[in-house]
């Protein structure tokens, strides 16, 4: 019965995606087919080398892509360095813990040596995030390319990022402004199957949300924060370098690290989806693929609205 329900849900989602308006006609699966045919191979090679040295970078590369797209669209604005008269996104409080910039730099340098001025930093981010997910055990999804890089990056714009204390209703509303469904939002939250968070983002949950926090985990997190302060970290789930469905099963056990994690199980608006993903990893992977395809097309720059940077850290 449940397998039939999953198949029905997938069919409904496919029909909905097919009927949705195409907002990113400029993108193409073979955009670099003639101008830089080995672009994806270069990205995959550098990401592979990086993850062999530090598997935790998978979470970092996925997070970089998300933090880029959610602020002014997928335009690599998160990669730009601050200048004397402007504080860029990467130096905003919400982005202070971002990592992986050096991996993107290495990819861009390798591409510039082969195809100067061709592959955008925004496409590099999208491809690197996809490859990081795959190499961590997650699903493959095609990444259409052709994004252009933005020329604006302001720390003030990071208010668009979802804070860690939002409840499910607020998350649905926020993601909805970008065209995501509740299922997209819960699936993308499943990206927290990778990585860690700082105590600054969950210490309030430890102090005030005992009713929805496993007592043993609360004790462990409390000790971690007491010893290391706001900069101390804890993993989102027990397999933090593996892309799997454990994140959702831990929400069922009230072991969600952030308020915005655990609310997905506590809220009747999203509990069904958490249970579905916890029971059926394949369906989670499918829904995550669909969410990433949508995210990669947010507010794209086209024509004169963007450029292809020579260095991802500065505008041309």
CATH of the domain at 254: 1.10.420.10
Asked whether residue 310 is domain-assigned, the answer is no
Do 91 and 195 lie in one domain? The reply is no
Residue range 189-245, pLDDT digits in tens? 999 999 999 999 999 999 999 999 999 999 999 999 999 999 999 999 999 999 999
Position of tokens 């997928």? 74
Residue 193 counted as an annotated binding residue:
yes
Question: Measuring CA to CA, which residue among 139, 111, 177 is closest to residue 284?
Answer: 139
Which of these is catalytic: 65, 67, 178, 198?
67
Do 195 and 287 lie in one domain? The reply is yes
Rounded to 5°, the CA angle 237-241-247 comes to 30
Residue range 98-147, pLDDT digits in tens? 999 999 999 999 999 999 999 999 999 999 999 999 999 999 999 999 99
Identify the bridge partners of residue 28 per DSSP, sorted by sequence position: 145
pLDDT (0 to 100) of residue 23: 44
Residue 306 counted as an annotated binding residue:
no
Q: Are the beta carbons of 299 and 72 closer than 8 angstroms?
A: yes
CA distance 130 to 61: 9
* Tokens representing residue 49 in the block: 């080398």
Q: Are the beta carbons of 141 and 130 closer than 8 angstroms?
A: yes
Q: Are the beta carbons of 74 and 297 closer than 8 angstroms?
A: yes
How many structural domains does the chain have?
2
Question: Measuring CA to CA, which residue among 95, 70, 59 is closest to residue 80?
Answer: 95
Query: Ramachandran region of residue 299, left (φ > 0), alpha (ψ -120 to 50) or beta?
Result: left
Q: Is the pLDDT of residue 5 over 50?
A: no
User: Alpha-carbon torsion 13, 267, 244, 90, what sign?
Assistant: positive
Do 192 and 146 lie in one domain? The reply is no
Residue 89 counted as an annotated binding residue:
yes
Asked whether residue 316 is domain-assigned, the answer is no
pLDDT (0 to 100) of residue 8: 47
Asked whether residue 40 is domain-assigned, the answer is yes
Asked whether residue 6 is domain-assigned, the answer is no
Position of tokens 């700082």? 198
pLDDT (0 to 100) of residue 213: 97
Do 125 and 76 lie in one domain? The reply is yes
Do 49 and 148 lie in one domain? The reply is yes
Do 201 and 128 lie in one domain? The reply is no
CA distance 160 to 144: 24
Q: Could you give the 3-state DSSP secondary structure of residue 313?
A: coil
Do 59 and 74 lie in one domain? The reply is yes
Rounded to 5°, the CA angle 243-244-246 comes to 125
Q: Are the beta carbons of 205 and 213 closer than 8 angstroms?
A: yes
Residue 77 counted as an annotated binding residue:
yes
Q: Is the pLDDT of residue 56 over 80?
A: yes
Asked whether residue 38 is domain-assigned, the answer is yes
Length of the chain: 316
CA distance 308 to 149: 6
Residue 223 is part of which domain span? 168-172+174-291
Do 185 and 269 lie in one domain? The reply is yes
Identify the bridge partners of residue 86 per DSSP, sorted by sequence position: 83
Identify the bridge partners of residue 233 per DSSP, sorted by sequence position: 198
* Tokens representing residue 110 in the block: 């390798």
Residue 303 counted as an annotated binding residue:
no
- Answer yes or no: 198 catalytic: no
Do 148 and 59 lie in one domain? The reply is yes
Residue 178 counted as an annotated binding residue:
no
Residue 162 counted as an annotated binding residue:
yes
CA distance 227 to 242: 27
Asked whether residue 7 is domain-assigned, the answer is no
| % of residues, the chain, pLDDT over 70 | 92
Asked whether residue 5 is domain-assigned, the answer is no
- CATH number of 57's domain: 1.10.520.10
Do 146 and 191 lie in one domain? The reply is no
Do 37 and 129 lie in one domain? The reply is yes
Asked whether residue 9 is domain-assigned, the answer is no
Do 134 and 276 lie in one domain? The reply is no
């Amino acid at each position: 019965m449940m397998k039939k329900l999953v198949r029905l849900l997938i069919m409904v989602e496919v029909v909905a995606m097919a009927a949705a308006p195409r907002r990113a006609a400029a993108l193409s699966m073979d955009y670099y087919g003639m101008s830089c045919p080995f672009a994806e191979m270069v990205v995959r090679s550098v990401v592979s080398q990086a993850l062999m040295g530090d598997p935790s970078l998978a979470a970092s590369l996925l997070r970089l892509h998300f933090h880029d797209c959610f602020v002014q669209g997928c335009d690599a604005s998160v990669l730009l360095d601050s200048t004397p008269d402007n504080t860029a996104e990467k130096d905003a409080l919400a982005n202070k813990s971002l990592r992986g910039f050096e991996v993107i730099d290495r990819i861009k340098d390798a591409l510039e040596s082969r195809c100067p001025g061709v592959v955008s930093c925004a496409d590099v981010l999208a491809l690197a995030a996809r490859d990081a997910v795959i190499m961590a055990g997650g699903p493959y999804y095609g990444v259409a390319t052709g994004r252009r890089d933005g020329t604006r990056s302001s720390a003030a714009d990071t208010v668009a990022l979802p804070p860690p204390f939002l409840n499910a209703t607020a998350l649905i509303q926020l993601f909805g402004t970008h065209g995501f469904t509740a299922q997209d939002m819960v699936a993308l939250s499943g990206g927290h199957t990778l990585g860690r968070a700082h105590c600054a983002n969950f210490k309030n949950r430890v102090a005030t949300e005992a009713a929805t926090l496993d007592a043993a985990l609360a004790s462990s997190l409390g000790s971690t924060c007491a010893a290391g302060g706001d900069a101390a970290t804890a993993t989102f789930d027990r397999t933090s370098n593996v892309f799997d469905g454990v994140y959702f099963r831990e929400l069922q056990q009230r072991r969600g690290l952030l308020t915005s994690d655990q609310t997905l199980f506590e809220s009747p608006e999203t509990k069904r989806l958490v249970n579905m993903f916890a029971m059926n990893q394949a369906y989670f992977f499918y829904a995550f693929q669909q969410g990433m395809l949508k995210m990669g097309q947010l507010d794209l720059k086209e024509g004169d609205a963007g450029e292809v940077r020579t260095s991802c850290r500065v505008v041309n």
